[in-house]
């Protein structure tokens, strides 16, 4: 059972990464068989991963037809950022109050790792660390219902952001700075600073989305 669950996690991580970085293109349709070939994993892990990705709205599963990767839209991104703004502010406040000493140390360490990747050209590696940041904050908040809410909000907004980056060096550095501010505030239990950092991140993501819209309209 543990081995099978581990394979399901592997399948999820692999497919989520492929969707985020558009190896599976928005609007495309694929089959379970194709995904099994791409990941070198079996049917059960793939189906488990697809259930999770479907709940997170990263895929749409259509029995007897295939799996669709939904298109990305500015409108959807703005809607989810409006919800994420409030939910994530609550998450970081709870994390400040409830994080264990080990989690606080892990956040401090992660902020250093994130800084090291901010100038890197490997945005896939940066994406992995960004996902880790999101996960550890929600885990530290110690509320499984909050975790259920945050997973799709963070995953979908990451997907939009990576799909629309024009200057990786500038955007990765900015994102690194904002996420590091949140991590460091939580690591020392500064609830007010963590909330402010969370809102600043949301402001950045919202402006990034509007800039994407302006670029699309002008081109």
Provide the token pair at 127. Answer: 């994406």
CA distance 143 to 95: 10
2-68 shares its CATH topology with 74-218: no
Band (pLDDT 50/70/90 cuts) for residue 118 is low
For residue 216, pLDDT over 90 is answered with no
Hey, where are the domains in the chain? 2-68, 74-218
CA distance 14 to 35: 10
Backbone angles phi, psi at 67, to 5 degrees: -110, 125
CA distance 210 to 122: 25
Q: Which CATH class for the 2-68 domain? A: mainly alpha
pLDDT for 1: 42
Collapsing DSSP to helix, strand or coil, 165 comes out as coil
Q: What's the burial of 84, exposed, middle or buried (CB within 10 Å: 0-12/13-18/19+)?
A: buried
The mean pLDDT of the chain is 92
The size of the chain, in residues, is 219
For residue 143, pLDDT over 60 is answered with yes
For residue 110, pLDDT over 70 is answered with yes
Q: Report pTM.
A: 0.90
Q: What percent of the chain has a predicted confidence (pLDDT) above 70?
A: 95
> What mean pLDDT do residues 53-66 have?
92
Q: What's the burial of 166, exposed, middle or buried (CB within 10 Å: 0-12/13-18/19+)?
A: exposed
> What mean pLDDT do residues 101-117 have?
91
Band (pLDDT 50/70/90 cuts) for residue 117 is confident
CA distance 37 to 28: 17
For residue 181, pLDDT over 60 is answered with yes
> What mean pLDDT do residues 165-190 have?
95
CA distance 98 to 194: 13
CA 74 to chain centre: 17
Domain at 74-218, CATH from 1.10.3210.10, 3.20.20.70, 1.10.3110.10, 1.20.120.530: 1.20.120.530
């Amino acid at each position: 059972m543990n081995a099978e669950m581990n394979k399901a996690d592997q399948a999820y991580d692999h497919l989520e990464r492929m969707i985020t970085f558009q190896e599976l293109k928005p609007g495309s349709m694929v089959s379970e068989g194709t995904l099994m070939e791409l990941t070198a994993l079996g049917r059960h892990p793939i189906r488990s991963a697809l259930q999770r990705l479907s709940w997170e709205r990263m895929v749409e599963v259509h029995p007897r037809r295939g799996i669709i990767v939904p298109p990305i839209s500015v409108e959807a991104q703005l809607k989810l950022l409006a919800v994420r703004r409030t939910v994530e502010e609550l998450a970081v406040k709870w994390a400040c109050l409830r994080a264990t000493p080990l989690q606080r140390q892990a956040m401090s360490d992660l902020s250093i790792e994130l800084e090291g990747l901010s100038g890197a050209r490997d945005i896939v590696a940066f994406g992995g660390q960004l996902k880790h940041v999101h996960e550890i904050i929600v885990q530290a908040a110690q509320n499984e219902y909050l975790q259920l809410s945050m997973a799709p909000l963070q995953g979908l907004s990451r997907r939009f952001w990576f799909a629309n980056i024009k200057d990786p060096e500038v955007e990765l550095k900015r994102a690194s700075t904002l996420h590091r501010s949140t991590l460091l505030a939580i690591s020392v239990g500064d609830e007010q600073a963590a909330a402010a950092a969370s809102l600043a991140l949301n402001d950045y993501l919202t402006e990034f989305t509007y800039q994407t819209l302006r670029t699309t309209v002008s081109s």
